[in-house]
Structure 1
Amino acid sequence: MIEHVPAVLSHTLAAVPTGVGSDLFDLQMPVLEKVIRTVVIYLGIALIIRVAGKRLMAQMNSLDLVVVLLLSNVVQNAIIGEDNSLVGGLIGAVVLVAFNAVLDHWSMRSPRLAWLLSGKATQVVTDGVVDHHQLRRLGMTEAELTNSIQQQGATTLSEVRHAALEPGGSVTVELRPDAHTATIADLRRAVDALTAQLQQGRPERP
């Protein structure tokens, strides 16, 4: 049976379509062009998300989902050009991951760069009052804001002292002191304090 192995291998290699090896490993564009294309598209998408991404990441509706699904297809040709090779795809992936890691590391050391890439938190509620101007600027409805606030433990807007939409899309909420839900530990401390006060005020027996 062993003597038939070379014949099987040669038959298998002969069945491989011509040009498969070149499609896998031959770049159709210079490596530098591939790197530049990938970095420019990365920065372009980062800019788009910087401008309009807070609301997109906070509350994604069906239209936002369509945008996200189509975005990769829209920029795909801009990244790969006419290069469909395996090596070209791997180069693009490595450049994306490496460039993202460099920006992350750099932004941790530079607050200014972090602000340029991500922006800052946007105050949307102050003492229970909604800032409708900021909501319109963010493209966020009051219903979406209320839903996000309720997920943070508030029942109504009147319980909220401050609420802000963070650059990453999360909503941070600071409740009024009287709106915090009491825990079992809080109740125990209150009972212990009341018991101590009663014992201090109790007259001593003769």
Structure 2
Amino acid sequence: MNELFQLSAPWWHFVLRGVAIYILVMVLMRLSGKRAVGQFTPFDLVLVILLGNAVQNGINGGDNSLTGAVIMASTLIGLNYAVAFVTSRNRTFEKFVEGEPVVLARHGKVFRKVLRRELVSEDDFDKALRKNNIEDVADAEVVLLENNGEISVVKQHKE
């Protein structure tokens, strides 16, 4: 019964591993782009499952104790809270963590290079227009790829 709670390393190893893996995964997710996060497909689900499995040993160092699991879970939740706290109070850090919206089209002109760079397909772009009851991109003032990966459309104000 004692082995359920016996750590294989000092407690601070778990905290250090948790911080390192958290930062690594955050950076990798940031580099993967907005669409990878915003448009969760079955392929993305497989990626998340495999990613969790890939970092498991790095995060727990092979420790299977309940105490280690509690330390790791607490560390990750604490880090997540700290990141949310800092991003809500520091615009520079928020831009680094969450990114900024990207203009995909303005005044009817579609920026095709930006679509490709942000991995937005023509179909996804057109679907966003249809969701906003816009038949022609010329009727859109601006089309944005938001931080969360969704495409938002601001309609042209016609007088």
Query: TM-score normalised to the size of structure 2?
Result: 0.91
Partner of 2:119: 139
Equivalent position to 2:157, from 160, 164, 177: 177
Amino acid at match of 1:26: Q
Equivalent position to 1:83, from 47, 63, 68: 63
Equivalent-residue separation in structure 2 for 1:141 and 1:74 (angstroms) = 29
Equivalent-residue separation in structure 2 for 1:94 and 1:151 (angstroms) = 40
User: Secondary structure at the residue paired with 1:177?
Assistant: coil
Cα shift at 1:72 = 0.8
1:43 pairs with 2:23: yes
Query: TM-score normalised to the size of structure 1?
Result: 0.71
* Structure 1: runs of 5+ lacking an equivalent: 1-20, 179-206
Moved over 4 A (4+): none
Give me the CA root mean square deviation: 1.8
Task: Name the one with the larger helix percent.
Answer: 1
* Structure 2: runs of 5+ lacking an equivalent: none
Partner of 1:166: 146
Cα shift at 1:44 = 1.0
Partner of 1:5: none
Counterparts of residues 61-140 of structure 1 (less than 5 Å)? 61-140=41-120
Higher relative CO (Cα under 8 Å, sequence separation at least 6) belongs to 2
Equivalenced residue count is 159
Equivalent-residue separation in structure 1 for 2:101 and 2:94 (angstroms) = 12
Partner of 2:8: 28
Percent identity at matched positions? Answer: 30
Provide, for residues 166-206 of structure 1, a one-character-per-residue CA deviation record: whole Å limited to 9, x for no partner: 1122222111124xxxxxxxxxxxxxxxxxxxxxxxxxxxx
User: Secondary structure at the residue paired with 2:105?
Assistant: strand
Whose radius of gyration is greater, 1 or 2? 1
